[in-house]
Structure 1
Amino acid sequence: MISSEKKKLRRKLLKQRQSLDKKIWQEKSNSLCEKIKSLSLFQEAKTILAYFAFRQEPILNSLFTMEHCWGFPRCVDQSLIWHHWIPGDAISAGTYGILEPDLNAPILNSFEVDLILVPAVACDHQGYRLGYGRGFYDRLLNSTQWQHIPTIGIIFDFAYVSRLSVEPWDCKLKAICTETQYLNLLESDN
C-alpha cells in the first residue's frame, strides 16, 4: 500500500515539474546532461539504459550519441523489457503514452549493461527514489541480475528531498544527478 504521504509528494513534485517554463526546463536538462557527460562512470560505460522524457522529466537527448550503445524500456505486463536503440531508430508511444523503441528491436540482457540512468519523481539523501507508483523500476532493481549495475537517479534540484518514506521493496540508487550536482552515494556509505 502506498502511503498518502508519498502520493501527496508525488502530486506536488509532478505539478512543480510540469509547471516549469519550457525554456527553463530545457536549460536545466542541458546542465544535467553536461554533468552526466563529465562523469567517468558515463564516459567509460559502453551500454547505458536510459529513458525518453515523459511528463517533463529531464531531457537526456543530447546524451544519445553513437559513442555508446543505448537501451530503452518497453512496458510489458508488469516488467520493463530493454531494447537496443540507435539514435535515429523509430520510437512510438507505448503503454502509458511513454515513448518506446520498436517492438522488434534487439533485446538487451543485464550482462551487456554498464550503467542505468533511472528516471524519478524525487530522490532523497539516502539514495531512495520516488517513482510514478507502478513499481516497474522497483521490480527491475530488485532482481538479482540487475543489482550489480551502477544506477544514477535523474532529477531536478527541487526534487532532491531530505527523506522519503521507504517501503521494503525500495532499492537505493548508487548516485543521483541534478542540474547542479552529482552525488555518489556509495562514497557516503563508507
Structure 2
Amino acid sequence: MNTHSQLRQQIRHDIRKRRQKLTALEQQQAETAITDKALQLIEQKKANNLALYLSFDGEVSTHKLIKCLWQQGKQVTLPVLHPFCPGHLLFLRYHPASIMDKNQFGILEPKLNLQDVVPLSELEIIFTPLVAVDKQGNRLGMGRGFYDRTLQGWQEKSFLPVGLAHACQLVEHLPTQAWDMPLAQILIAE
C-alpha cells in the first residue's frame, strides 16, 4: 500500500473513531441541525425527488429529515447495492411500508422491487454519507467507490450531490484520487 492510500486509510480510521465517540445528545443535536439545513436547501432548490441514506456507523442521522419529507409529500429514495452491476447503486423509493433487508455490509436498504427503482435522471438532490470531507468539497467515503461511481459526471446530470457531516468530519485537506468525485455542497451539523 502506498503512502497516499495509507494516509486515506488513517483518516478513515481516525474520523470514524471520532464520529463513534459522539454522545447520544450530540447525535440528536446533529440530526436536528442537518434536518433544518437540508430542508432549507430542498426548499431553495424546489426539489421533490431526493436520495438519502439510513445512517450507519455514527453517520449523521437522516431519520427525522426523511419523516419531514414524507409529511411534505416528497419522493424519498434510498441506495441499494445493484444486484447485477457490482460496485454500483440503484435508488429505490422509500416509504413507511417499505420492506427492508440488510445488505452485505450490514446496512439496511429497501428490498429490491423493480417498480420502486428511480432513475438517476429523476433525482434532484443526492444526499451522501461520508467519512470525511474538506472545505473544497472533496469527499472520503468507506473506500468502495459506490458513490464515486454514482456521482461521476454529476455536473452534466440533473442532480446535485450534497454531503451530510458532523463537524468532527471536516478536515483541512483530503488526499484525493483521480476517481474521487467532489460534492457540490456540504451541510455540516454545527
| Band of TM-score, shorter chain | 0.7 to 0.9
Q: What 5-or-longer segments of structure 2 have no aligned partner?
A: none
TM-score normalised to structure 2 length? 0.87
The equivalent residue for 1:45 is: 47
- Partners of 1:96 and 1:146 lie apart in 2 by 31
Is the 1:42–1:115 contact (alpha carbons within 8 Å) kept by the matching residues of 2?
Answer: no
Change (3 A) 1:61 1:167: same
Classify the secondary structure of the residue corresponding to 2:126: strand
TM-align CA RMSD: 2.0
- Within 5 Å, which residues of 2 pair with 1:57-68? 57-64=59-66, 65-66=69-70, 67=72, 68=74
Q: Give deviations 1:147-190, integer Å, cap 9, x for gaps.
A: 4411111111111111100100111110000113xxxxxxxxxx
The equivalent residue for 1:5 is: 7
Segments of 4+ moved more than 6 angstroms:
none
Amino acid at match of 1:48: L
Classify the secondary structure of the residue corresponding to 2:105: helix
- Partners of 2:175 and 2:43 lie apart in 1 by 29
Q: Structure 1 residues 119-128 or 139-148, which shifts more? A: 139-148
TM-score normalised to structure 1 length? 0.87
Q: What 5-or-longer segments of structure 1 have no aligned partner?
A: 181-190
Is the 1:140–1:146 contact (alpha carbons within 8 Å) kept by the matching residues of 2?
Answer: no
- Partners of 1:86 and 1:175 lie apart in 2 by 26
Q: Give deviations 1:124-152, integer Å, cap 9, x for gaps.
A: 11111000000101111115697441111
- Within 5 Å, which residues of 2 pair with 1:101-112? 101-104=110-113, 106-112=116-122
Q: Does 1:85 align with 2:94?
A: yes
Question: Shift of the alpha carbon at 1:19?
Answer: 1.4
Classify the secondary structure of the residue corresponding to 1:3: helix
Q: Does 1:94 align with 2:103?
A: yes
Is the 1:110–1:146 contact (alpha carbons within 8 Å) kept by the matching residues of 2?
Answer: no
- Partners of 1:139 and 1:42 lie apart in 2 by 27
Classify the secondary structure of the residue corresponding to 2:93: strand
Amino acid at match of 2:12: R
Is the 2:50–2:124 contact (alpha carbons within 8 Å) kept by the matching residues of 1?
Answer: yes
Classify the secondary structure of the residue corresponding to 1:173: coil
- Partners of 2:59 and 2:44 lie apart in 1 by 19
The equivalent residue for 1:54 is: 56
- Partners of 2:56 and 2:156 lie apart in 1 by 23
